[in-house]
Chains A and B, each alone.
Chain A
Amino acid sequence: MRQLIAKRLLQTIPMLFFVSVVCFSMIKLAPGDPVLNFVTPNMNPESVEQIRHNLGLDQPAYVQYWEWLKQSLTGNLGYSLVNHQPVMDQILDRLPATAGLMGAAIALAVLLAIPLGLIAGAYRNKWIDKAINFLAYIGISVPLFWLAILLVYLFAVKLHWLPSMGMRTIGKNSFWDVVKHGILPCVVLAFGFLSSYVRYIRSSTIGQLKEDYVQIQYAFGSNRFTILFRHVMKHVLLPVITLLGLSMADLVAGAIVTETVFSWPGIGTLGMTAAKGMDYPVIMGITLFSSVALIAGNLAADLLYGIADPRIKLTR
């Protein structure tokens, strides 16, 4: 087990290196110039050159990458080109907001998806299955930002039940206030995942119901509910673990949309601003962080698999 973790961790090193090279090249190939952030028309060309030089932007791309890599290996992700704050500080500053929102959204999605998926699978092709399927279909088709605007209009503007934006009321610092602000973005983000989870669980429920142990339970006179929520659920939960690992990537994408619409001060909005301003140290920092999250998510899923079902041997 320990060996496996070590091996997997070692494998991530070339992967991260590869990701960073690709990401850096893409930034450099993209049109746009970070110096445009500072240039105002009443600035003379010498000042522009001075700024370019101070930021190291007059160096060839491979030198810039090498400098970045050297720095990063010492744990220093560099400074933002725009506001000159350390990238690491900015990411750590915003990580809790994103992690909190994502955690809550995943939990909500899973909690809803398990019963919905189980019921849909058990009542295959009945009206309730169709209804749930339809809901899932909507979840895939509806753009998240549209859903977000819709909910804000309803719950913030019309009903005044919930705040429409931000993470807290200005000057307030209570946990409940943050929760209140988090409800809408969390629901939107969860809705984005719900569909794929439900469809996954539904199909694996259908598969499980054909298994012998289900027939045996029926023969023992267990009712449908017990079979579904006691026995089948155990088996169905297994693929959900994999799904969770994989959804780390979707989460980052979903978070960008959701955080932007709700002005949630997380990694998503930070990345969005950085991308607009060609602020490459910040973009690189965020890419590394999300790659690590994705790899860690998959590794954790693999390990949990072994724990959840000891029959699956963790060798390789």
Chain B
Amino acid sequence: MRSKRKLSVVVVLALLTLVISACGGNSNSNSNSNASTNAPSNNAQTADNGQADASQPKDGGSLIIAVGADPVILNPNYAGDRVSLTIDQALYAPLFQINSGKKTFYLADSLTPSADMLTYTLKLKSGLTWHDGEKLTADDVVFTFNKILDEKQNSFLRGNLIVGGKPIEAVKVDDTTVDFKLPSVSPAFEATLVQITPIPKHIFENEADIEKSTKNAAPVGSGAFKFKEYKTGEYVTLERFDNYFGGKPHLDSITYRIAKDTNAANLALQSGEINVKYLDPQDVSTIEGTGKFDIMPYAEGRLSYVLFNENSDRGALKKKEVRQALSYALNRDEVIQAAYSSAEYADAAKSILTPDTLYHTNEVPSFDNDAAKAKELLQAAGESNLKLRFIVKSGDKVQEAISLYVQQKLKEIGVEVELQSMDASAWGAKAFDPAAKDFELAISGYIMGSDPDAYSVLFTTDAVYNSTHYTNAEVDGLWKQGGSEADTAKRGEIYKQIQEKIADDAAIFPIGYTKTIVAFDKQFGGVEDAVLKPVVIFEDPSKLYLK
């Protein structure tokens, strides 16, 4: 009876699947018919383009962007999560931005360092206003700066404004000019300033605790779009700010729709309820197949790598030769293929710095794919029957694929890998615990921004984020030098050395500079001018428009 029932369940599931695949078949014919119905409009479009490439993009329309969670806080001084940062990008204009090495000024007109590099003069554009019509001036910039420095305000940006133990000072010169006075030379200051977004003084002046202020629930910004409505768990809607200094935005509104389940969100994308969404490489073909979306992969300034825990109680990874041997056992292109399904979605990485970082070079030792060499090195290091523990975040397709690949490749050089799958928070707690000794390998990644100084926390002896426990006194010294060297040429030389030495030490096995893939509804345009940007998707959403 039971087995009979089981059988019938299987039959019904099979039937349902058939129904669905029949729908899938329909979808093909549908998309064909769509294609044919779309054809005239496509023609119309080309005609449009033909006669008026110079014509201005149309105004109006609303764009819906999928986000994975509720924003944590709509205040750029406290936002650290992807969703809040994404919404803040449209809500609050930055002073200036650096994207792929290119500097673009927004609220600021210029930033000029003094000859001794101890004072930076920031000039604001004139006639700037907040969304509520108040003037945006140097006072707001100084206020923001001081509030971040105020320990009681709990902003995690504070540490960045301290150089050599002393705070940087912000001094108002006139309504549109601010001088930043540094206690000592800090070439990374520009990269720090990029992260500072002015918040309105007239709104937050009397708040004892800005982080908990109820005023964050109805934010007043200076960006291209102003706050309209937030429905918890559903969406955040922003509407056009007509007095935006960069010119009136084209779209009427942008809505960030909260969609927790990726599969469901992909369906919503197909049904037209969402216009923009991040995609996993595995989902690209399905979405591309609808013919309604442009698939846009772009570099995130992120490095994905195999982490070698030198601190593990089995000790072997402390030896440089062993780490080099493990690297020799792997083939970068195969790892990328296994994890990201196509070289299109990750560029092979050799350096610890990402390509968008100053002084990046991929001309470093890479120990790629030479099993014989690997065995030789292991023997030389006196390691045989090596057993390694590899911690894997369960449910993470990329990590699972890479770990299986690594297990198989290391077996070829006689190293046994035991995979330990664990849930995301357990994984995070272990991988980033400075005291963890019970694993050797993991997959990790980082986004550190445009200045190489930021990377020092990852590869300096005993630094907090040095989860590999890499230690090299010479490299420690170089990081120090690089952080305070004002001469660009000398600085470049220092960071080149750092990249070479760390690569030669095989502190990590760099896999790829990964890309983010975004599906963008073909009904909209203007992406080139809006500029795809890591983490926040669009650098300047005012440039997007409905075709």
Contacts and interface: CB of A to CB of B under 8 A. Distances in A.
B232 A90 contact: yes
A113 interface: no
A168 to B, nearest CB: 7
Contacts of A90: 232
Nearest to B13: A142
Contact of A157 (B13, B233, B271, B430): B271
A137 B264 contact: no
Contact of A165 (B23, B160, B268): B268
Given A163-B273, A263-B261, A32 B232 contact: no
B20 interface: yes
B229 A156 contact: no
Given A47-B158, A154-B23, A171-B229, A166 B448 contact: no
A158 B268 contact: no
Contact of A41 (B9, B70, B162, B458): B458
Interface string A121-142: 0000000000000100110011
Interface string B242-281: 0000000000000101111101110110110100000000
A36 B72 contact: no
Interface string B208-249: 000110000000000000000101111101000000000000
A170 B428 contact: no
Contacts of A265: 231-234, 258
Interface in B396-449: 422, 424-426, 428-430, 432, 446, 448-449
A166 B235 contact: yes
B189 interface: no
Contacts of A22: none
Contact of A31 (B20, B212, B425, B465): B425
A134 B151 CA distance: 65
A167 interface: yes
Nearest to A165: B268
B72 A83 contact: yes
B179 to A, nearest CB: 24
Given A148-B264, A170-B235, A42 B457 contact: yes
Contact of A170 (B5, B20, B64, B160): B64
Nearest to A42: B454
A270 interface: yes
A215 to B, nearest CB: 30
B260 A158 contact: no
Contact of A93 (B13, B23, B156, B232): B232
Given A150-B20, A156-B268, A165-B273, A40 B156 contact: yes
A2 interface: no
Nearest to B9: A141
A148 to B, nearest CB: 7
A150 B13 CA distance: 11
Contact of B12 (A40, A138, A264): A138
A48 B159 CA distance: 10
Interface stretch (A8-16, A69-77, A205-213, A272-280): A272-280
A196 interface: no
Contacts of B388: none
A166 B256 CA distance: 12
A17 interface: no
A46 B160 CA distance: 12
Given A90-B232, A265-B234, A269-B233, A40 B80 contact: yes
A33 interface: yes
A266 B70 CA distance: 13
Contacts of A222: none
Contacts of A260: 260-261
Nearest to A36: B428
A301 interface: no
A41 B464 CA distance: 9
Nearest to B151: A50
A207 to B, nearest CB: 21
B257 A166 contact: yes
A94 interface: yes
B8 interface: yes
A31 B429 contact: yes
B425 A138 contact: no
The residue in A30, A50, A84 that gathers the most chain B C-beta atoms within 10 A of its C-beta is A84
B9 A137 contact: yes
A84 B265 contact: no
Interface string B514-525: 000000000000
Contacts of A137: 5, 8-9
Contacts of A163: 271, 273
B203 interface: no
Given A93-B232, A164-B264, A276 B425 contact: yes
Interface string A25-58: 0000011110011111111111110110010000
A82 interface: yes
B432 A36 contact: yes
A198 interface: no
A308 to B, nearest CB: 34
A160 B270 CA distance: 11
A165 B448 contact: no
B107 interface: no
A152 interface: yes
A33 B235 contact: no
Contacts of B424: 276
B235 A134 contact: no
Contacts of A148: 264
B17 to A, nearest CB: 9
A164 B64 CA distance: 14
Contacts of B80: 37-38, 40
Contacts of A270: 233
B73 interface: yes
B69 interface: yes
B211 A263 contact: no
The residue in A142, A145, A171, A270 that gathers the most chain B C-beta atoms within 10 A of its C-beta is A171
B379 interface: no
Contacts of B425: 30-32, 36, 276, 278
A273 B273 contact: no
Given A32-B426, A42-B457, A134-B8, A48 B464 contact: yes
A-B interface, 10 closest residue pairs, ranked by CB to CB distance from nearest: A265-B233, A32-B425, A44-B159, A31-B426, A31-B429, A156-B271, A157-B271, A43-B156, A164-B268, A45-B464
Interface of A: 30-33, 36-48, 50-51, 54, 79, 82-84, 90, 93-94, 97, 134, 137-138, 141-142, 145, 148-150, 152-154, 156-158, 160, 163-168, 170-171, 260-266, 269-270, 272-273, 276, 278
22 contacts: A36-B429, A36-B432, A41-B448, A42-B457, A46-B159, A90-B232, A97-B233, A156-B268, A156-B273, A157-B271, A158-B26, A160-B271, A163-B271, A164-B264, A164-B268, A165-B257, A168-B231, A168-B234, A171-B229, A263-B233, A269-B233, A272-B260
Given A32-B429, A158-B26, 12 more contacts: A41-B448, A51-B156, A83-B73, A134-B12, A137-B5, A141-B9, A142-B13, A145-B261, A152-B267, A156-B268, A158-B27, A263-B257
